[in-house]
Amino acid sequence: MRYTISGRGKNNQTPVGVFLARSFGHIPHPEIDSLFGFAEYTPLYGGRIFGQPEFSPRDVEELYQLGIALRLPLTNHYVDKEEYLQSRQLLEKYHRPGNAAIVTNDNLARWIRRDFPEYRIEASVIKNVKSYARIEAAFELYDTVVLPMELNENEAFLAGAPKKERITLFANAGCALTCPSKICYVSISKLNKGRGGQFKCSQTVKERELRGMVDFDLDRLQALGYSRFKLLRARPDGLTGR
């Protein structure tokens, strides 16, 4: 079993080793494939609103020393060639075997594949890949694919999915599990450009908080042939997730 773990909300003044011990101390380091979160700013970020870097340069070096890779959440829906070129210095900085990019925009995935071949490229959950045909199509461009949280509850679908070794499932879930439309992702993609916009959500705060964090049965998912899992961090009040 291998985990990609959320560094969302990490204070970049807290050493990453301390963060791991506090938030994920039950996960042995050899089982942690990578941590995902913000390094320095790029307009390619999506998924969550960029406020400040979550990983300092010292954090990144500590991850490497621990044998843990960095996973960059480059999940913005909207990417033009100029923004990609502006971000090449950041991509070059973290370009090394083992590091990964989580991507939503197919053009961005193609550009990274062409120019920075050492990155593993993962199709973001934001792509909403929910059929076998779309999984197979994604594998033509992406190394791995994250399936939507709700598919964890569809055992028949998971049992028949192709190339399970290239599929990442969520180990736990927050508000996205029951979200009717996930309009937040598009609004955040616009906000992270730094050109205005506003956060949008299809649920009230109360609806988001009602269910809190949900832990999936990983033994059952492993028995179906899955070994790659994405692990979120509960907020301090235990509600939704990061």
Q: pLDDT, tens digit, for every residue of 27-48?
A: 999 999 999 999 999 999 988 8
* Per-residue model confidence as pLDDT tens digits over 65-84: 999 999 999 999 999 999 99
Q: Which residues of 56-73 are buried (b: 16+ CB within 10 A; e: fewer)?
A: beebbebbeeeebbbbbb
- With cut-offs at 50, 70 and 90, classify the pLDDT of residue 179: low
pLDDT of 186 reads 65
pLDDT of 12 reads 81
238 pLDDT above the threshold of 60: no
Q: Which CATH number goes with the domain that contains 21?
A: 3.20.20
Number of folded domains that form the chain: 1
Name the burial class of residue 204, with classes exposed (0-12), middle (13-18) and buried (19+) by CB atoms within 10 angstroms of its CB. exposed
Under 8 Å between Cβ of 2 and 228: yes
Establish if 238 belongs to a structural domain: no
Predicted TM-score of the model (pTM): 0.89
State mean pLDDT over 131-159.
97
For 51, the domain range is 2-231
* Per-residue model confidence as pLDDT tens digits over 183-228: 666 667 766 777 766 666 656 655 555 556 789 999 999 999 999 9
Establish if 241 belongs to a structural domain: no
Establish if 85 belongs to a structural domain: yes
Establish if 154 belongs to a structural domain: yes
Establish if 236 belongs to a structural domain: no
Q: How far is CA 36 from CA 3, 79, 192, 230, in A?
A: 11, 20, 17, 10
Percent of the chain topping pLDDT 70: 83
pLDDT of 147 reads 97
Establish if 77 belongs to a structural domain: yes
pLDDT of 239 reads 46
Establish if 240 belongs to a structural domain: no
